[in-house]
A and B are shown apart, each in its own frame.
Chain A
Amino acid sequence: MTRNRQWIALSLTLLLLGGLLMAYKAIWLGFPLMPDESSEQWIVQARLELEPLEGPVRADLLLPARTSGFIVSAENFISRGFGLTLEDELFRREANWAIRRLREPKTLYYRATVIPDTRERRIADTPGFPSPPVLEEPWAGALEDLVADVRAESADVESFAAEVLDRLNSASPDENVSLFMAGADSPLKRAHLAQTLLAGARIPTLLVHGITLQKDVQRAALQTLLAVHNGDDWLLFDPQTGHQGRPPNFLIWYRGDGELATITGARLANLQISVKRRVVSSLDLATQRTELKDSMIGRISVLQLPVQTQSVYEVLLLVPFGILAIVILRNFIGFSSFGTFAPVLIALAFRETELFKGILLFLLIVSLGLIFRFYMERLRLLLVPRLAAVVTIVVLLMTAISIVSDRIGVETGLSVSLFPMVIISMVIERMSIVWEERGATTSIREGIGTLAIASLAYLIMSMDVLSYWVTVFPEANLVVLGVIIAIGRYTGFRLSELSRFRQLAKPGEGP
């Protein structure tokens, strides 16, 4: 690649890299693109009330494991006096509480914070084919007929399962179905029945139990879904309605035929699952998610730094945006100012004072400084000592303004201490020289130009969205770098040149 074209590759690489990193964080890790976005999280609580019977007590509670669409971000167990062990497998997690002797009724709590996740995950391992159920007549014959019937009306596992559930839920079931339906009065039994029927066609099934996360529920009911494996993936069906897919906000709790809680040595007087919704900032949520997913890229964020350092970098990371504004003003528009990047530093000072007060202070200090500078011209000081004297005078002026404004009770003056005094001194020096060489008008015009550019840079750098962006997506500066490099190769006219050379645009006037 020739050197002339390298900049395009470099610029595009930077734009792409920055863009991809941002997209990864925004889409995969769910970092919100705007500040103050909020999302939901849920506090799910299982409450077990135990009444003592005889002997040692053991309480086993299945816990949410590998929840698709959600992540459990924090868990608490409240169980004073009980020993707690956790069984932790990929698709099955269980808490085992145990105590040698239980004297009085006791309540155990399990509490989990659940946050939404962008990813759907596998429900369970790929199963083997089930053996067909061994049934007596007339059920065996009925099953055979039913499977043959349904197979004739379906194309694949998905439509087969849907058809089976459709027949089970039909208002006027045919005689084969009616035969099975006798006694299947609860949803759970209905689901078991569907499993048996599907096993007749050697289709692997699994029961999936969970709750729907709603706003605030005191007593959430466990719902059972039927997972059907189609050879590639698990498909979820609601056995009661035949709807396919995970219902919205459905939190998968456990799988299989077991019970949520198994108690020995005590009576389970009450098992209650409650759900509470909390609204939290999306940013906090994304940060939690980053931790849980252990994502390296997600950690490229100023938010990982200590708070004091964060605020420093928030400002530093904004500087390239102010500089980009200056690059555009100079190379596209054709503005000129005292000092190339002095306006950015002045704009940084404005961040502390707010724009209007900042401009007032700037004007005040520069005009007072100019007066002193003109006086010193008469003293014929050497250059460096004179610059030093101007800096000193600027510092004294700032102190005086602080003291006076404090006396009056105006708060403005106090933030003046962050004004870039050396930069201001240089502005004063340059202004006074331009004043003498090119006249007051040019000097004041350039001074106002400097102030205008600084104000614009300030307005850009004080955008809330931008300061949020650079902290959460510091890689946005890679995009800025790419743009700056591209502008560096812009060879077209500046806006000011369109007016400067306008005479040359008219044809036929040349010599």
Chain B
Amino acid sequence: MFGNLVGMRRAGVLGLNCRNSEYTLKYNQRRFYPLVDDKVLCKRRLQERGLAVPALIALVEFNRQASHLDELLGDHTEFVIKPAHGSGGNGILVISDRRAGYFVDSDSNLVLPEDLAHHLTNVIGGLYSLGGQPDVAMIESLVHFDPLFAGLTYHGVPDIRLIVYRGYPVMAMTRLPTRMSHGKANLHQGAIGAGIDLASGATFGGVSGNRLVSTHPDTGQPIAGFHVPHWSLIVSMAAQCYEAVELGYLGVDIVLDRDLGPLILELNARPGLNIQLANRRGLRSNLDAVDALETHHETPEERVEWSRRTFGHHPAGSRHNP
């Protein structure tokens, strides 16, 4: 096991202790945390900057509102309920259809209006918020993922995670839901992670847990060599988030909507380290390359240009999408 230590050092793997003390504690100032920890605030901030986000249908702040679902929802039949201060994907309920007396969630389970109202009161009560403070429930419009991804996902929306360090995108991956992850794009629940080449937007091979996977277990499609559509726009949006929230070590989650294109789903001030597994390489060298820059570029465009040139891989034999 300690042989790993030397190898991991050499590979520039970033550990949690190091991420916390050298990066998040150093570059993420406390006063900017509310901008990402409060998803409502974050959404407004991003919208002000002209960055696309999923539309907000309603905010539920009081238990009383929870029992008036019809007023809240209007004629929306598909939506997502999220705690504004949630973390790690907890407390997110995805409703994909609405019938006369009930709702249907993303796993095609029946959800009664009472269940929905109860979930809302739990969220408001602070069950999923950091530290258990009373919270606000957000009702967002549901993202319809780009059909190009259809072969790479099972019952859920794949998302794209980028680490933006001091404004420079340094690493990217996509998280592909599987049957095992219950349609959730969460790597420790069994979703597949696949690194993305910053330069071309092409995926590398996938990783499930610690295993290499070349095809999606539920659809049988090859994972490597898929070209993420709108890649330039995605990287550029991620880089612009730095100006929006001023956090030096930032995780940006983006989804591709069929009609609306890339939407920023949420920002994360303490992004996880699994992206290293998905990319099969450590983060340190890329972070060090940014630190080694003598003068930092002014505009997001310049930073993106530099990042894609510096961190791109251009693997041979990649498969191009039309």
If A383-B126, A504-B13, A504-B282 touch, whether A498 touches B2 (CB-CB below 8 Å) is yes
Q: Is B110 an interface residue (CB 8 A)?
A: no
Residues of A within 8 A of B30 (CB): none
If A382-B121, A384-B125, A505-B4 touch, whether A493 touches B280 (CB-CB below 8 Å) is no
- Expressed in whole angstroms, the Cα–Cα distance for A133 and B17 within the complex equals 83
In the complex the two chains form, is A511's CB within 8 Å of B313's CB?
A: yes
Interface size on B, as a range, is 35 or more
Residues of A within 8 A of B117 (CB): 380
- Expressed in whole angstroms, the Cα–Cα distance for A490 and B15 within the complex equals 11
Closest A residue by C-beta to B197: A511
If A502-B210, A503-B210 touch, whether A493 touches B5 (CB-CB below 8 Å) is yes
Closest B residue by C-beta to A334: B16
- Expressed in whole angstroms, the Cα–Cα distance for A493 and B118 within the complex equals 41
If A503-B277, A504-B280 touch, whether A331 touches B8 (CB-CB below 8 Å) is no
Residues of A within 8 A of B288 (CB): none
In the complex the two chains form, is B4's CB within 8 Å of A507's CB?
A: no
In the complex the two chains form, is A501's CB within 8 Å of B276's CB?
A: yes
In the complex the two chains form, is A511's CB within 8 Å of B205's CB?
A: yes
In the complex the two chains form, is A511's CB within 8 Å of B204's CB?
A: yes
- Of A334, A490, A497, most B-chain CB atoms within 10 Å: A497
Interface members, chain B 102-140 (any A CB < 8 Å): 114-115, 117-118, 121-122, 124-127
Residues of B within 8 A of A488 (CB): 21
If A497-B16, A511-B279 touch, whether A505 touches B7 (CB-CB below 8 Å) is yes
If A493-B5, A511-B204, A511-B313 touch, whether A504 touches B281 (CB-CB below 8 Å) is yes
If A433-B127, A499-B1, A511-B279 touch, whether A506 touches B17 (CB-CB below 8 Å) is no
8 nearest CB pairs, A to B: A383-B125, A505-B7, A380-B118, A491-B18, A493-B15, A510-B281, A511-B204, A505-B4
Closest B residue by C-beta to A491: B18
In the complex the two chains form, is A503's CB within 8 Å of B280's CB?
A: yes
- Expressed in whole angstroms, the Cα–Cα distance for A488 and B90 within the complex equals 28
Q: Is B63 an interface residue (CB 8 A)?
A: yes
Interface size for A (C-beta < 8 A) is: 31
- Expressed in whole angstroms, the Cα–Cα distance for A509 and B7 within the complex equals 12
Provide a sorted-by-A list of 10 A–B residue pairs whose CB atoms are within 8 angstroms: A497-B15, A498-B8, A502-B8, A503-B210, A504-B7, A504-B8, A504-B277, A505-B3, A510-B280, A511-B204
Q: Is B11 an interface residue (CB 8 A)?
A: yes
In the complex the two chains form, is B280's CB within 8 Å of A509's CB?
A: yes
Interface string of B1-44 (1 = CB under 8 A from A): 11111111011010111100110000000000000000000000
In the complex the two chains form, is B121's CB within 8 Å of A383's CB?
A: yes
Residues of A within 8 A of B156 (CB): none
Closest A residue by C-beta to B15: A493
- Expressed in whole angstroms, the Cα–Cα distance for A499 and B1 within the complex equals 7
Residues of A within 8 A of B189 (CB): 438
In the complex the two chains form, is A494's CB within 8 Å of B15's CB?
A: yes
Q: Is A248 an interface residue (CB 8 A)?
A: no
Residues of B within 8 A of A490 (CB): 17
Interface members, chain A 408-450 (any B CB < 8 Å): 433, 437-438
Majority SS of interface residues in chain B? helix
Closest A residue by C-beta to B8: A505
Interface members, chain A 478-502 (any B CB < 8 Å): 488-495, 497-502
| Closest Cβ–Cβ distance, residue A379 to chain B (whole Å) | 9
Residues of B within 8 A of A437 (CB): 90
In the complex the two chains form, is B315's CB within 8 Å of A492's CB?
A: no
Residues of B within 8 A of A505 (CB): 3-8, 10-11, 13
Q: Which of B11, B17, B205 is the one whose CB lies under 8 Å from A504? A: B11
Residues of B within 8 A of A489 (CB): 21
In the complex the two chains form, is B21's CB within 8 Å of A493's CB?
A: no
Closest A residue by C-beta to B196: A511
Residues of B within 8 A of A509 (CB): 280
Residues of A within 8 A of B276 (CB): 501, 504
- Of A382, A494, A511, most B-chain CB atoms within 10 Å: A511
Residues of B within 8 A of A511 (CB): 195, 197, 204-205, 279-281, 313, 315
In the complex the two chains form, is A494's CB within 8 Å of B17's CB?
A: yes
Interface members, chain A 326-362 (any B CB < 8 Å): 331, 334
In the complex the two chains form, is B280's CB within 8 Å of A331's CB?
A: no
In the complex the two chains form, is A491's CB within 8 Å of B22's CB?
A: yes
